[in-house]
Amino acid sequence: MATIRAHAAYRAGSLADAEADAHDALEAARLYGHQFWLPGAVAALVNPLVERGGYDEAERLLIDTKVQEAHGESSAFCWAAMFLPARGRLRLAQGRAREGLTDLLACGDRYESSANRSPSLWAWRSEAALALDSSGEHERAVELVTTEWMLAQDLGALRALGIALRALGLVLGGDPGLTHLSEAVAILAKSPARLEHARALADYGAGLRRAGQRTAARAALREAQELATRCGAEVLAQRAREELLASGAHPRRAHLSGPDSLTPSELRVARLAAEGRSNPEIAHLLFLTRRTVETHLTHAYQKLEIASRDELADALGRSLQT
């Protein structure tokens, strides 16, 4: 359940929650020896680590758990189907494009079936298409992302359709690409997938800037930076900021400390702790594990630059009253 909840939190863009739940899942897998679940738990942690730029930490996780040796090449474990896209994303972020593309394409080669063709389950085609296009295989990229777009249209799920449209827009480029990116932004705005919405906004804003539409670009990029920061997607937030600078804007730095830097989950836990609730009480009230509560409080202390819960009320200040 911790693994599934971590994956769900990642898909919704609640990266701090995803990371905390993934740690719980790994702890349970190790404690009880449930090796069957290990690939899914590792994938659940790799995904948010990549979004916040923790590439070295993610690599150490792969090495320490030995998950790629045990499950990385096996089709006998269903959770390996979650592991390959996560490792593929990490490899692409590390600049190891060929390895990342191999992992993503293996999703279709080894795990494709009538039961898991849905792009709502995973969007490996869109991610692989972007990697193919970057490596010069444009026609293959168009074919792959078009397939995913058609599957997403048939399915009707907003997140899947928005992801496919974003990838299609990036692969096509030019005016048609901008049209698809605009559609992706509009569709994802209606979905709970905040991270994908921020991603589409950043790419749409970058496309508008390159097309000379700087005013419109700045509006999209500012929204992308703000949303990415709220999700905890530090890499995406920094990219949006760099695009804003390139557009001639003077963006504010993201809040790295203080109450405004807390994620909604961190703020919720911090408020309860400031009211005098114990960690077990908070866990019971919010249906969290104690480890998750401790993780949120640790992050809150770091961002608020305090050492204990006794300082929480003062550090939260006006945020506690809202």
The domain limits of the chain are 1-110, 260-321
Query: Each residue of 85-98: pLDDT tens digit?
Result: 999 999 999 999 99
Alpha carbon separation from 126 to 105, 171, 195, 208, 261 (Å, rounded): 11, 10, 16, 21, 31
Query: Each residue of 186-205: pLDDT tens digit?
Result: 999 999 999 999 999 999 99
Share of the chain above pLDDT 90, in %: 61
Is the pLDDT at 18 greater than 70, yes or no? yes
Contact 68, 62 (CB under 8 A): yes
DSSP-assigned letters across all residues of 296-310: HHHHHHHHHT-SSGG
Q: What is the pLDDT of residue 24?
A: 84
- Judge: domain 260-321, CATH 1.50.10.10: no
Q: What is the pLDDT of residue 189?
A: 97
Question: Dihedral angle at the C-alpha atoms of 6, 9, 11, 14, nearest 10 degrees?
Answer: -130
Distance CA 262, CA 272 (A): 14
Distance CA 53, CA 46 (A): 10
Alpha carbon separation from 11 to 15, 123, 191 (Å, rounded): 9, 11, 11
Distance CA 187, CA 192 (A): 10
Query: Each residue of 101-158: pLDDT tens digit?
Result: 999 998 887 766 665 678 888 889 999 999 999 999 999 999 999 999 999 999 899 9
Query: Each residue of 288-313: pLDDT tens digit?
Result: 788 889 988 998 998 898 998 899 99
Contact 78, 115 (CB under 8 A): no
Quick one: which of 216, 315, 217, 214 has its CA closest to 266? 315
The b/e string for 221-245 (b: 16+ C-beta within 10 A; e otherwise) is bbbbbbbbbbbbbbebbebbbebbe
Region 264-268: mean pLDDT is: 79
Query: Each residue of 221-253: pLDDT tens digit?
Result: 999 999 999 898 999 999 999 999 999 998 766
Query: Each residue of 105-119: pLDDT tens digit?
Result: 988 877 666 656 788
Query: Helix H segments across the chain?
Result: 2-12, 15-32, 38-51, 55-65, 67-70, 80-93, 97-111, 124-134, 138-155, 158-172, 174-189, 194-210, 214-231, 234-246, 264-274, 279-286, 290-304, 312-316
One of 1.25.40, 3.30.420, 1.20.1280, 1.20.120 is the CATH number of 1-110, namely: 1.25.40
Residue 31 pLDDT class (50, 70, 90 cuts): confident
